[in-house]
């Protein structure tokens, strides 16, 4: 595929993901085949995770939004920034929809995701010491989540990079989460993300995850701030 076509496809996928976060909320297509992340993530896990779990968050979010006229016409980002005002169904399913839409975009077939840009690498090195040090700290954060949740690399409101975790489907956009920030990278550590292949061994999933990170999307998010 030539670079112009690849770039056009990237724009189409970004537009589909953005559209999925406006009402009525919808399931964005996976930006690759379900088996494209093998052997790191198997096709069956991806199909169930995307087609059933993520779809359920979308369906439940649309139903919950119908119950609260204040939410009419709002985007998911707007809703989450004021999530303390709304019910738990909106928080859990809205977070589920946002987090998974982001997560699919942050993955790519091994070899296709590129590397951190010089600018991102410089920021990571300044904050964490080296890319490897960052990876170890991010892994440790992911392994520290008790039960279900997420680990994040965010840019905080002061412009600093930070590694954070959230429980359940909470995320750093929500006004109930501290610190707030713009997500740059995220890993889903719910068991549904890895159990079929890795069973209870979250460490194997987390430490084996780096080859399928879509650094091109992380770079784009970092540059966009
Ligand atoms: Mn998940």
Distance 134 CA to ligand 1 centre (A): 23
Cα separation, 82 vs 173, whole angstroms: 9
Q: In the chain, what percentage of residues exceed pLDDT 70?
A: 92
Distance 54 CA to ligand 1 centre (A): 7
Q: What is the pLDDT of residues 33-69, one digit of tens each?
A: 999 999 999 999 999 999 999 999 999 999 999 999 9
Distance 8 CA to ligand 1 centre (A): 28
In the block, tokens 């009419």 appear at 72
Q: How far is CA 9 from the centre of its chain?
A: 20
Q: What is the pLDDT of residues 155-183, one digit of tens each?
A: 999 999 999 999 999 999 999 999 999 99
Distance 188 CA to ligand 1 centre (A): 6
Point out the least confidently predicted range of 6-15, 67-76, 113-122, 147-156.
6-15
Q: Which residues are close to ligand 1, an ion, with C-beta < 5 A? A: 188, 190, 193
Q: Give the SS3 label for residue 9.
A: helix
Distance 2 CA to ligand 1 centre (A): 33
Query: Is the pTM value of this prediction over 0.85?
Result: yes
Distance 101 CA to ligand 1 centre (A): 10
* Residue of higher predicted confidence among 175 and 1: 175
Distance 92 CA to ligand 1 centre (A): 12
């Amino acid at each position: 595929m030539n670079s112009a076509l690849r770039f056009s496809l990237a724009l189409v996928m970004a537009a589909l993901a953005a559209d999925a976060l406006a009402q009525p909320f919808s399931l964005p297509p996976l930006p690759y085949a379900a088996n494209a992340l093998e052997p790191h993530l198997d096709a069956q896990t991806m199909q169930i995770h995307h087609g059933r779990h993520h779809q359920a968050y979308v369906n439940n979010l649309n139903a919950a939004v119908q119950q609260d006229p204040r939410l009419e016409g709002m985007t998911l980002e707007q809703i989450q920034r004021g999530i303390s005002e709304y019910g738990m169904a909106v928080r859990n399913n809205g977070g589920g929809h946002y987090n998974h839409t982001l997560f699919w975009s942050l993955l790519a077939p091994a070899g296709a995701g590129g590397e951190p840009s010089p600018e991102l690498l410089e920021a990571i090195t300044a904050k964490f010491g080296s890319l490897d040090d960052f990876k170890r700290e991010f892994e440790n954060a992911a392994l520290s989540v008790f039960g279900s949740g997420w680990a994040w690399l965010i840019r905080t409101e002061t412009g600093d990079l930070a590694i954070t975790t959230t429980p359940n489907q909470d995320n750093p956009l929500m006004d109930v989460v501290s610190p707030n920030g713009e997500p740059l990278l995220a890993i889903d550590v719910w068991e549904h993300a890895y159990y079929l292949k890795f069973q209870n061994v979250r460490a194997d999933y987390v430490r084996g995850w780096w080859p399928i990170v879509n650094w091109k999307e992380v770079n784009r998010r970092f540059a966009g701030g």
